[in-house]
Amino acid sequence: MDSTIDKKINILGKTLPEMEELFLNLNQKPFRAKQALKWIHQRGISNFDQMTDFSKELRSLLNDSFYIKAPNISYEKLSDDGTKKWVLEVSEHDSIEMVLIPEGKRSTLCVSSQVGCAINCSFCATGKQGFSRNLTASEIIGQVWLAANSFGVPRTGNDKNITNIVMMGMGEPLHNFNPVVSAMNIMLNENAYGLSKRKVTLSTSGLVPEINKLSKVSDVSLTISLHAPNDELRNTLVPVNKKYPIQELLSSVKDYVEGCNDKRVTTFEYILIDKVNDTLELAKELADLLSQIKCKINLIPFNEFNESDYLQPSGNRVRKFKDYLVSRGYVTTIRSTRGDDIMAACGQLVGQVNDKTRRKERIQKAKIAAQSI
């Protein structure tokens, strides 16, 4: 990066209060912050000289102190079903992935929060890559900015090409708490993307203290990656369960939803893995477990990838699991597999991770050792 840029501040990830403070420091009125947000996020502008309702003097001040930059696009792929995946370079050895899923009038953007993931769920390709670092707020909201700009620039303030955003890409969002909350605040702000709190969803593996902390600063929709109805099985699939077991997690979820003061329900995601967690006995256990929580259940047939021996269950096993839950009164959906031909489906995002945990290296050594026996 240019040494002159190193001394400047990237304001792409600045929230409205942070932007107001920056303008006050330039001896400018705070309402300029709203104007800047609109130029950046509603119109997709990254050049201060194009912000024509600012004076030349102010534009010069902004150029001297700040810049606007999203991650670089390494490449993009388009699936046969219309799903689009971008690979974004965030540093020399680190890349992330984001996915845009169109469906009728709805278009959902799946956003990453980390380079890799430290949780290491046994069914997730991201976790197999290890972990490098957290993303900055600019790198998180930059994904939204790039996806919105893919529909054409300059945008108008009325463009709603992205209707929903899910924090379900690479990483555990609550492990990167402050930048994720800042980025979500920009998604919700009427001067930026103006999405409703029901249209922004955070998915977590179940970090109980952070869920409790989130309830004090945000009321976006919450999705829980559950994947098992008992601690013994979930300890294997989602290792963080050993620290925050299911009953403790469900208690924090109840508190979060009650704090939202509306009729919202929690979504529980359940990846179905052939002959691992897809039996009718486990469906009954799941129905019993969630009986006291207003919720819906999203079943996700496992998406296979090279580093995993798990298999996707047959359509018949998936339907039987769903039908039982429906018979117990649960709103239950089966997520259609989207983008699997370009490795963009749930659990398949890998990017490029400069793994500081050396997890990928250990997995490779274990595989080689097993083959030599």
Per-residue CA distances from 306 to 128, 250, 277, 303, 335 (Å): 10, 33, 20, 10, 22
pLDDT at 350: 61
For residue 173, the SS3 value is helix
Spatial CA neighbour of 279 closest among 229, 245, 235? 229
Question: What are the structure tokens assigned to 122, written together?
Answer: 């046994």
Measured distance CA(200)–CA(185) in Å, rounded: 10
CATH 3.90.870.10 is held by the domain 90-364: no
Q: Per CATH, the architecture of 3-67 is what?
A: Orthogonal Bundle (1.10)
The residue ranges of every structural domain in the chain are: 3-67, 90-364
pLDDT at 70: 98
Which is catalytic among the residues 21, 92, 346, 361? 346
pTM: 0.91
pLDDT at 369: 53
Question: What are the structure tokens assigned to 35, written together?
Answer: 């104007």
Residue 46 has φ and ψ, to the nearest 5°, of: -120, 5
- Which pLDDT tens digit goes with each residue over 223-260? 999 999 999 999 999 999 999 999 999 999 999 999 88
Which is catalytic among the residues 57, 89, 97, 361? 97
Q: Spell out the alpha helix ranges (H) of 113-189.
A: 125-128, 137-149, 177-188
pLDDT at 315: 95
Residues of the chain with pLDDT under 50: 1, 3
pLDDT at 68: 98
pLDDT at 136: 98
- 110 as an active site residue: the answer is no
- 117 as an active site residue: the answer is no
The DSSP result for 43-88, as a single string, is S----GGG-TTS-HHHHHHHHHHEE--PPEEEEEEE-TTS-EEEEE
pLDDT at 6: 65
Quick one: 81 exposed, middle or buried, by C-beta within 10 A (0-12, 13-18, 19+)? middle
